[in-house]
Chain A
Amino acid sequence: MCYNPPSSKYVRTNEGNPAVKLSCKQEELQRALSHVSRAVSRKSTLPVLANVLLKTDDSSLKLAATNLEIAISATIPAETDQPGETTVRADLLTEFVASLPNDSVKFELDTAGQSLALECARSKAHIKGLNTDDFPELPAIEDGQVTATIDPRVLREMVGQVAFAAATDDSRPVLAGVLCEFQGGKLTLAAADGFRLSVRSADLTEQTGEDMSIVVPARSLQELARIIADQEEAVQLWVTPNQSQLLARSGSIEFLTRLIDGHFPDFRQIIPQEWETRAVIGREDFLAAARRAKLFAQSNNDIVKIQVQPGEDELDPGIARVSAQAAETGDNEDAVEASIEGNESQIAFNGRYLTDILGVIRTGDVALEMTSANAAGVIRPVGDTEFTHVIMPMVIGSS
């Protein structure tokens, strides 16, 4: 991650005052730590990255952590007599604070800066610190810099419907990311691991910056979605001018991630525009059938077969048979009611891809659109044009 070089910021106190004193509420401190510790580096050659940065200013305490991929900071109200900062082991502080009663927590930061004294109810502790010299400088969103603003619930849902389709290996780094396209007041997220593509659009509350596309690591985006879960306030997004980082802010939480440099494939070209057969199926029935089939598909390459059969007339719209079989374990089939347009057809998907997508659609019905057994299948929520999912089928190889 590209940070500004750390400035010299030894733990400092006002001269004459031997220690920085501070108090805050255990409950708030615990919540802030649980957010921030998501960004703590589990294994790093830089010891300070296993630490959480504590920084007091006026009437607040700011906590921050980074693993150089993402950074998270949270600010909570605190009473303090002077500014000061240090870093201490994140795991120790988090677990210690979590074990304390819901009371006021008093801090005292030793002038030498290498020790933090804590007191809460009848407990007290001293935690050794590292000075903040080596802790990376984290950019923050300044007023007037915001690229776009979005409702946290909308963003969370979008990420949940798209990020899982990103690649989990790094053979093509750009595919481990989610394309975020800001265009004309709309945000479109797209991810594809090479075998499936998930695309979801939604209106931004406001787009203040120019139209642009960035690629955010899928894991970072999922982390952002997680930490804004309990936020009410709109999420402000800011892409740094050199497009190397994305910052997000909601309420007292700030989030930063590095971006993936690279050209995301033209996903619109991948989405089939026509179909031969379209089956509309109740989402829950379809999902349950797919889950059952997946059990049997497990020992046969996860192949789940879907056969759709148009009905005789208006009263009998048709049926979708979801099945799997494995030589060693056995076979199963679910017949799910479906209304079919077009011809009888069949296709086979990786069962996991099927349950993944059916699990994140919110509408009651989904449409499965097919052209042939060896061409992409499209799954859409019925009544929602903002979400499209494409899955490539599995075929029996000819050799």
Chain B
Amino acid sequence: MKQPERTIIHADLDAFFAAAEVRRRPELRGKPVIIGGKPGGRGVVAAASYEARRFGVRSAMPISQAVRLCPDGVYLSGDGSYYRELSDQFRAILLDFTDLVEMVSVDEAYLDVSHSERTLGTPRQAAESIKQRVRDELELVVSLGVSTSRLVSKIASDMDKPDGLCVVDPGTEAAFLADLPVGKMPGIGPKAVERLHASGVRTLGQLAHMPLPVIEPIFGKRADQIVLRAQGIDDKPVDPDGGPTKSISHERTFGEDLTEPEDIRRELYRLAESTGRDMRQKGLQGSVVAVKLRYADFETVGKQRRLLGPTNAHQEIMPVAEKLVEELLNTRRAPVRLLGVRMSTLTSGVLQLSLFDQQAQRQQKLNQAIDQLTERHGKGLITPGNLRSVSQQRSESREDDPDTYDRRTGERRGRDE
């Protein structure tokens, strides 16, 4: 059955963190502003103003590289709570247009404004008034993509950035996508692009007409979905609740590449602890532990394992995460730039009790106590004896901890779509 046509807007604030800084410090206007840490630090660029981008600075690039490209830039370490405040105001404006607003990160949202022509005017008019209000009330610039699906709108909003407005009329989705390079499509990463190129597939139009057996080796089970998406077909709804949380994760880029096993263990423990705490706060438990490891040369690898039963205790997560990292390092031993821990296959509120020592129950009580202390006194107060040095190290590296203000918070610590 054909679904009734929808009107979906993708709204994406331009260079959000940088623009937010310029907004409260007008003297920065026109200057290359880079958020993500001080020069000499080892964080990654969380956001760069368009002036900085002209120097070749991009999000997720190491600060050191940004400094090389743009030595005279204004480097700021970011202010998470200020950005979140602005983000809330952004959301409030969007909610005036429709209740169906799904924030996918601090600076990015989908709106479903289907059948609102009477109140909002044409989709283009609706988009224009969003743009106007964000400019008037927030002094920020938003780029918008409008189409019948999330996917096409997302790609469209990126077309004329900054200050873009791109409307793809119903029925023209496939034609709109046809000439775009395959890498434009969310979900097709650099590795997949490389393999598609190797098979002679460069545009989404070509991909849309590829027989499944050709692309199955590249995308596996996702292959048929990828082909549909390349044809502009995507019926994923805008979900105001953001859909159920699929995974909870924490990752961190280090001030200095890690080589010592005890440093790796210590950082991994921190990540396991944060991930456990997030799950406990949300009343969730996870059954699959995954780790992510980025080497100094940016090669990024990952590995995951299913636990016997769901848990939100970092004491359970840590040994598995440690083992997975060990296995990755056994494959390739090189300095480690980033580590991440992710828990998925989440369930809520159910505890499978353990046979031995009533371990799970004791852990739960212990962790509740730790959480209360953490709330009152901050992270790192309580660590196991064998990792005691964590608390000292923590204060040093906190500053360029990208967890606090990474632009992709959605991916980093909340939900994986």
Contacts and interface: CB of A to CB of B under 8 A. Distances in A.
Contact of A374 (B307, B350, B353): B353
Interface stretch (A155-163, A187-195, A221-229): A187-195
B49 interface: no
Given A169-B307, A301-B310, A350 B355 contact: no
A392 B352 contact: yes
A399 B278 CA distance: 12
Contacts of B283: 397, 399
A394 B320 contact: no
Contacts of A195: 308-309, 352-355
Given A171-B308, A171-B320, A194 B355 contact: yes
Contact of B353 (A169, A197, A393): A393
Contacts of B361: 374
Contacts of B350: 301, 303, 394-397
Most buried by A among B306, B307, B352, B364: B352
B305 interface: yes
Contact of B351 (A168, A193, A376, A396): A396
A399 B310 CA distance: 15
A192 B355 CA distance: 8
B307 A265 contact: no
Contacts of B349: 396-397, 399
B186 interface: no
Contacts, number: 66
B319 interface: yes
Interface in B342-391: 347, 349-356, 361, 364, 368
Q: SS class of chain A's interface: helix, strand, loop or mixed?
A: loop
A390 interface: yes
Interface string A182-215: 0000000000111111000000000000000000
A125 B356 CA distance: 57
Contacts of A376: 353, 355
A393 B368 CA distance: 21
B244 to A, nearest CB: 11
A7 B308 CA distance: 43
A140 interface: no
A270 B356 CA distance: 8
Interface residues of A, number: 26
B370 to A, nearest CB: 13
Given A169-B307, A171-B319, A195-B308, A395 B353 contact: yes
Contacts of A399: 280, 283, 349, 368
Interface string A170-186: 01000000000000000
A394 B310 CA distance: 11
B285 interface: yes
Nearest to A299: B347
Contacts of B368: 399
Interface string B323-355: 100000000000000000000000101111111
Given A194-B356, A392-B354, A395-B353, A169 B308 contact: yes
A110 B355 CA distance: 59
A395 B285 CA distance: 13
A167 interface: yes
A270 B361 CA distance: 16
A194 B280 contact: no
B308 A194 contact: yes
Interface string A253-287: 00000000000010000100000000000000000
Nearest to B351: A397
Interface string A291-328: 00000000001010000000000000000000000000
Interface of B: 280, 283, 285, 305-310, 319-320, 323, 347, 349-356, 361, 364, 368
Top 6 closest pairs, chain A to chain B, by CB: A397-B351, A392-B353, A399-B283, A301-B350, A397-B349, A301-B347
Interface of A: 167-169, 171, 192-197, 265, 270, 301, 303, 350, 374, 376, 390, 392-399
Given A392-B352, A399-B349, 10 more contacts: A168-B308, A171-B320, A194-B356, A195-B308, A195-B354, A376-B353, A390-B355, A396-B350, A398-B364, A399-B283
